[in-house]
Amino acid sequence: MPNLVFSGCRNKIQGNDKLIKKVLIANRSEIACRIIRSCKAMGIETVAIYSDADKDALHVKSADYAYYIGESEAKKSYLDMEKVIHAALESGCDAVHPGYGFLSENHEFNRKVRQSGLIFIGPSAESMELMGSKTSSRTLMIEHGIPVVPGTFIDKLADKEIAELASEIGYPILIKAAAGGGGKGMRVVRASNDLLSAIESARRESMSAFGSDEVFIEKYVENPRHIEFQIAADQHGNIVHLFERECSIQRRHQKIIEETPSTALTNDLREKMGEVAKKVCQVANYNNLGTVEFLFDNAGNFYFLEVNARIQVEHPITEETTGIDLVKLQIDIANDLPLPFEQKDLKQSGHAIECRIYAEDGDNDFLPSSGKILMLRVPAGEGVRYDSGIETDSNVTIYYDPILAKLIVHADDRESARLKMIEALKSNVILGVKTSINFMIACLETDEFKSGETFTSFIETHYENLKNYRQDELLNLALATANQYLYDTETSQIIHDYSKSNPWLEMGTWEICSKYEARSL
């Protein structure tokens, strides 16, 4: 046996037969479809999983194989670790891609996947556990001199102690789910008498979304920006950042419009934050794709918030500006390949914006909407990308996050990207469920967005002016068209009825005549 202990060449020595060949995607909707796309481009087979509610879903049709894993309720399907792992083993997969949400940041799932002999496409279970708990990651970052927002975790504390800690930090207070992300289990409390009921509610929401009710409280920084850095770290100690994403336009602490580059960063600041983001991952022995989130205040201070140990919803804007397929990169890292670039090779090119198309009523406090997609028209054109989880006739159910698709545009500069996005949104016809499309057009049209004045309070501040955008202007047009449509539909039904009747019975008495006679008639 030759001596093969030479880590730099490990992958070459292993050869292609050890690379991932078949992936189970432990997710649904647009991100499952997105992962399938990269897998197909890499020649990797894909297995989708689905619940009762998703048996006709797009991700099921897009995958090479699909595996039924249970009832519609997420707890009984997409969140059931044993069922997911069983599906991966039964279907002969060698790896599991967790996507985002569901089990993606569950270190126990990560560990179980690995223990069952499968590759988990993500960071090690240890670094995920460390980063997954916002409390332990905070402690680690404080130890390494990384700036954090003042706060504390409150589990196993009596109500009175919690109230005292909150007063010490000072109101307003932010309650966050330790296991969470995406605004689930998050509450802002402005006065002490609302504290305990908000904590109770945050715990319930966290339990149902993430299977854990651990929450913590911190100082709520008013009117900050949310700026995050994309990190890629391999299993050989190499680490780079792929620049920032500004995700300040949020409703209920959940991002809806993201862009890169951020208008708030100078090159110096970008470099400084990028280096801090890399250090965050270094000290946690982080070894796959991840996102380091920062709060950025008006004075240019930035505070470490958390690491998202998974692919982010908004990853496409980084792909558009760097030209790198991040899902492929995740799989390459999981295959133990070294990063194919160094920091100096990476450049941001142009400007990208993403709008998340949610099934929700932008004019009515973003109340989720369910129903059947009766019509879908997907925007297209140069620099326009649509990462979709739906098609015509798809059912949008009440069981899962209401994301339908993501619209991403890329252009030379910010203003061109903004204009391109508005046009693309206007052509993204979705009928049958309510969407946030018009609301996002309204956001993009504001002077504040145009000038880059994007803060996390943007929607709260401008909501009354943004909702019902162009409603009065377009209502008569819609009413007239509805009237015409009903008329046309009824008319075409009458024509249709004629066509079903028997022409031989309706043509009356005819005579057969010669060609010449017929012409003369």
Partner 1 sequence: MILSYNNHNYRVYDDNGSYDINKVKFDVTLSQTSKGSYRAITSEKSYDVFVANDEEFLYLFVEGKQFTFRKLSEDNISHGTDALDKGTGEIHAPMPGSVVKVLVKVGDSVEVGTPVLIIEAMKMESTLYADIEGVVTAVNAIEKEQVGTEKALVVIEVVGD
Which residue in 92, 487, 513, 517 binds partner 1 (CB under 8 A)?
Answer: 487
| Cβ–Cβ under 8 Å, residues 438 and 383 | no
Q: Report whether the peptide linkage leading into residue 261 is cis, meaning its omega lies within 30 degrees of zero.
A: yes
Q: Judged by CB under 8 A, does residue 486 bind partner 1?
A: yes
- Phi–psi pair at 5, nearest 5 degrees: -80, 80
Does position 434 bind partner 1 by CB under 8 A?
yes
- Given the residues 225, 310, 385, 414, select the one marked as catalytic: 310
Say whether residue 478 binds partner 1 (CB under 8 A).
yes
- The residues, ordered by sequence, that sit 6+ positions from 9 with a Cβ below 8 Å of its Cβ are none
Quick one: which segment of 109-117, 286-294, 325-333, 369-377 binds partner 1 (CB under 8 A)?
369-377
Comparison of 138 and 187: residue with beta carbon closer to partner 1: 187
Cα end-to-end span (Å), the chain = 98
Verify whether residue 310 is a known catalytic residue. Answer: yes
State which of residues 135, 282, 348, 370 lies at the interface with partner 1 (CB under 8 A): 370
Q: Residue 27 interacts with partner 1 (CB under 8 A)?
A: no
- Do residues 97 and 84 lie in contact, with contact meaning Cβ atoms separated by under 8 Å? no
| 513 forms part of the interface with partner 1 (CB under 8 A) | no
Binding partner 1 (rule: CB under 8 A), the pick from 374, 380, 419, 513 is: 374
Rounded least distance, CB 426 to partner 1, Å: 5
402 near partner 1, rule: CB under 8 A: yes
Secondary structure element (H or E) that encloses residue 137, with its range: helix 134-143
Q: x/- string (CB under 8 A) for partner 1, residues 312-351?
A: ----------------------------------------
For residue 492, CA distances in Å to 276, 487, 489, 505 come to 65, 9, 5, 22
3-state secondary structure of 363: coil
In the bound state with partner 1, the residue whose beta carbon lies nearer, of 205 and 244, is 205
Q: Does 419 bind partner 1 (CB under 8 A)?
A: no
For residue 413 the two structure tokens come to 């500069």
Which residues, in sequence order, are bridge partners of residue 22?
45
Q: Is 79 in the site for partner 1 (CB under 8 A)?
A: no
Residue 490: how many other CB atoms lie within 10 Å: 9
CB of 462 to partner 1, least distance (A): 17
Work out the angle at residue 455's Cα, subtended by the Cα atoms of residues 453 and 457, and round it to the nearest 5 degrees.
125
Is the distance from CB of 69 to CB of 87 less than 8 angstroms? yes
Among 4, 380, 419, 479, binds partner 1 (CB under 8 A): 479
**Who contacts 5 (Cβ-Cβ below 8 Å, separation ≥6)?**
none
With CB under 8 A as the contact rule, which of the stretches 60-68, 280-288, 411-419, 426-434 interacts with partner 1? 426-434
Q: Which of 263, 264, 225, 246 is nearest to 317 (CA)?
A: 246
The residues of the shown chain that bind partner 1, judged by CB under 8 A, are 74, 184, 201, 204-205, 208-209, 252, 367-372, 374-375, 377, 398-402, 425-426, 428-432, 434-435, 437-438, 441, 469-471, 474-489
| Catalytically annotated residues | 310
